Structure formats: structure tokens, C-alpha cells
Amino acid sequence: MCNGEAFGNGLFSKPPLGAADRLALPDDGTAEKRNLLCAPLTDGTATRFCTTHITTSQSFNVAQLESVRQKLEDYHTAGETVLIAGDFNAQPHYGRLNSFYAPSLDVPNNGNNTGAYRELDDNDTGNCLGYGKWTADGTPGAAPPCGGNTKTDLISVRESALAGPYSEDSLAISTSCTGVATCSDHRIVVGTVTVSQWLVSDGCPGNGSVVRCPAGCLQDLILEVVVGRRPGVFVRPVSMEEGRRLQRISRTAKDPVRLRRAIAVMMSAQGQAVRDIVSLMQVSEDYVRDVIHAFNERGFDALDPKWSGGRPKTINDRMRERICLIARTSPTDWGIAAFSTWSLAKLAEHLVQRPVVPTISRETLRRILREGKVSWQTTTTWKASTDPDFLTEMHRVLELYDAPPADGMRRRVRPAQPDAAQGQGLATPAVAPPSDGHPKPV
């Protein structure tokens, strides 16, 4: 039925159907390619059934509705009685459907109509006269005139073809599907209507020409429409004030995260499905669903990004100083004879084994050494100290870096200067206790 595609329309009929027409509707840029599917009965009557699924995008919704209306007019001009049913993604009181509804329907919930059709539930005084019984779970878009959930699934017939009463009902959504809470986010819509049909038959006046049948040729047509799809995710009902606030945020927000979330919520509030929002915003389905669920739970607070200070440093300044000091030594100073110079990988491994740091990447090590102005080149020889106590003294110095005594004093000696009174010689270095933690020559 869907030619292997993920989306499609279908017509099922107890009487046999003839070859179907498929009219491609204006492309809204989403993965679901919208179309109008129509097929005639093969019983000698000029009766045709049509179904469609209009996009949720408002601008394209208007264009697709007009394409459908024009095609129905073509069928009418050709002498066919057409019944159309489907998900129009537009509520009966929307102005964009005025060109569908006949002027005879003029009630507070649905007026200013200029079209030629009647919807089979537009005369139900017990369910919001002019609007009808709800068919879709949730309230995307404008609030229904009588409150409650929305009606976007319509069954319509041309008013001039009506030859008797008509009615419509929407059945409860089934919960017997495996793996999901409900089988669809739309109800099953059932309509009954009596129409006068066109016949191409010698049994009626006209000698085989297309004529309007007399009363004896009238038939009761019962149409059942099932609009099924995966349960949709929409934001909760949005008030007029909340809608205006979302619009302000989408126009003025400086923060890109807040702006993107507000647009996703506003598009969902306008009735756009998750897949349509994903296609238009170029984000993932998980992102859109998470934003919608967060807005439903926390309201406008969900639009604000929660910035954090980031992960705390794992390598402090003392560790960095020690890393630079070790990098200036030779591997042999640590009893390593396999190589004579450090590489980033070998030095990182040594720092973890010692352990100077719990873990360190080569790129982090490279950055620390660059900041510490430590560099080295591969050498063929290594000049080591001849002092037999060098290693012991070096490790003692490194230990003092790791654990300096609380009452320790640091000294700094400046180069000796010639003594003017005594001639050439070494001046005794002067040492001053640090006043701010840094040794100062005097």
C-alpha cells in the first residue's frame, strides 16, 4: 500500500474500487510526501472516495488544502460525487477551511464560509455545533471553541449531493497494541450520509449519459475512516498568553539554546509533529522530544540552559610544576635504561606509575610542557653528574617539592660579585626570610 515507504494513505472499501488517482501535494520539505488518494466505485455509479493527510506546517497546510479543493472541484465538474475523509491538520473553525465549508453553515463556532461542502459532524448540537466531536488526542494549535481536545479528522461531502440526513461519531482510541500505551493519537471516525449519485446507466433517464439519479437510485453510503499513526508527542495545551510569550522569545532571545528550545515548543504548540520539527530545525528526534517533555513538566523554566562551571581541575599547579621538573631530568635518573630521552607517551606512563597524577593524556601533557616552556630534542649522549650522591640529593629535592615542611625556608643565591676592597673573590650571599612566600635577594 505504501510502496515500502514509512508513510502513506489507504482506501478500503467493501464495494470494489477502480484505479486510484494519486495527486502529489506541495512539498513541505519533510520526509512524509503528502498526497491526495482518490478511487472510484466500479458499480456503475460516478462515486469517488478520497483521503489525504495534510501537513502540520501552516503555510504548506494552506497550499495543500487548496490543491485538494481544486482537485475535488475537477471531479465535481466531471460529474462525480466525491466523499473525502482524512487528517486535515486544521480545525473546523480555522479560517483556512472557510473555502471548504458551505455558507449554509453559519454558527458562532464556524462562520464566514464560502465553500461547497458540509462535514458530517457539523450539525451535532450535542458536540459543539459547527465544530463537532474531538478526534485527536491533545490540543495542538489554537484552543477549540468549546474547549477539550481538537478535531482535525474530517469527513466531508458536497452540499449539493446531500439527499438526506448525515451524522458522524469518533470512537475511543484502542489500547490493545503491543509495546505502546495507545494504538494511535487519533480516534476512529465513522460517518453515515445519504447522497444522490450520478449514474452512467441505461436504467436511469439519459440513455447512458451522465445524469442525476431519481430518488429511487439513492443509496446509503457508510464510510469508516481509520487515521492511525505512532502516538505523537506534543506540548501541553498552551494559553494565549503563553503563546505570545513563546513568540516573543523566538524573536528576541539572544541565547541560542533558549531560542532553539522556544522554537521547538512553539512549533509543537502549533500542531507540528516531532518529525516535522526535526526536518525543519535539523536536530534529532530525541532532542525535540526531550524539550517537549521538559516544557510539559517545568514550563518556561525548561527553556533556560543550565550552565555549570565545568569539571574541576584534576591536575593542580603543584602537579604541573612537578611534571615540568621531571621532564627536565633523564630517564636514567629514575633507573630507566631502555631509553635515554622522554617521549610524551613514556613520560605520561612514568607520571602515572610514580604516581604524580592519576591519569594524563598526551595532549594534556603536551599543553602543560608548552606552558612550562619545557622542550627537548633527541640526544645521542647524556652527560650525567659525577657526584655519587647526585641521585639521592635529586630525589630529596623532588620530595621537598611534593611535601615542603611547614616551617621551611627557601633561599635564593645571587651570583658572586667582585669585592672592591679585597679584589677578586666571592661575596657571601645574603638571605632574607620571605615575606610573601617568595625569596628575595638583598
In the chain, domain spans: 21-226, 240-303, 311-380+387-407
C-alpha–C-alpha distance, residues 105 and 37, integer Å: 27
Q: Tell me the Ramachandran region of residue 154: left when phi exceeds 0, alpha when psi lies from -120 to 50, beta otherwise.
A: beta
Quick one: which of 131, 284, 153, 308 has its CA closest to 225? 153
For the chain, what is the total number of helices (H) and then of strands (E)?
A: 9, 13
Closest C-alpha to 102, from 149, 39, 162: 162
Decide if 374 contacts 324 (C-beta within 8 A): yes
Q: Terminus-to-terminus CA distance in the chain, angstroms? A: 95
In three-state secondary structure terms, 24 is strand
Q: Which of 47, 366, 370, 417 is nearest to 201 (CA)?
A: 47
**Which residues are CB-neighbours of 273 under 8 A, at least 6 positions away?**
56, 232
C-alpha cell at 2: 505504501
Tell the burial category of 370 from Cβ atoms under 10 Å away from its Cβ (0-12, 13-18, 19+).
exposed
> CB-hemisphere CA count at 13 Å for 265?
34
Strand segments (E) across 317-367: none
Rounded distance between C-alpha atoms, residue 349 and residue 362, angstroms: 10
Q: Across-strand partners of 219?
A: 195
The residue count of the chain comes to 442
Domain 21-226 carries which CATH code?
3.60.10
Which of 191, 198, 169 lies closest to 47 in space, CA to CA?
Answer: 198
CA distance 143 to 176: 29
Residue from 188, 152, 154, 151 nearest 170 by CA = 188
What are the pLDDT tens digits along the chain (442 aa)?
456 566 778 898 888 999 999 999 999 888 788 999 999 988 777 889 999 999 988 889 999 999 999 999 999 998 889 999 999 999 999 999 999 999 999 999 999 999 999 999 999 888 899 999 999 876 557 889 998 889 999 999 999 888 878 888 888 877 776 666 667 788 888 888 888 765 444 444 333 333 444 433 434 444 444 444 445 678 888 888 888 899 899 888 888 899 999 999 988 887 788 888 888 888 888 899 899 999 998 899 999 877 666 677 788 888 898 899 898 888 888 888 888 888 899 999 999 988 888 888 888 898 899 988 887 655 555 566 778 887 788 878 777 777 777 777 766 656 555 554 444 444 444 444 555 554 444 4
Looking up cell 491526495, which residue turns up? 36
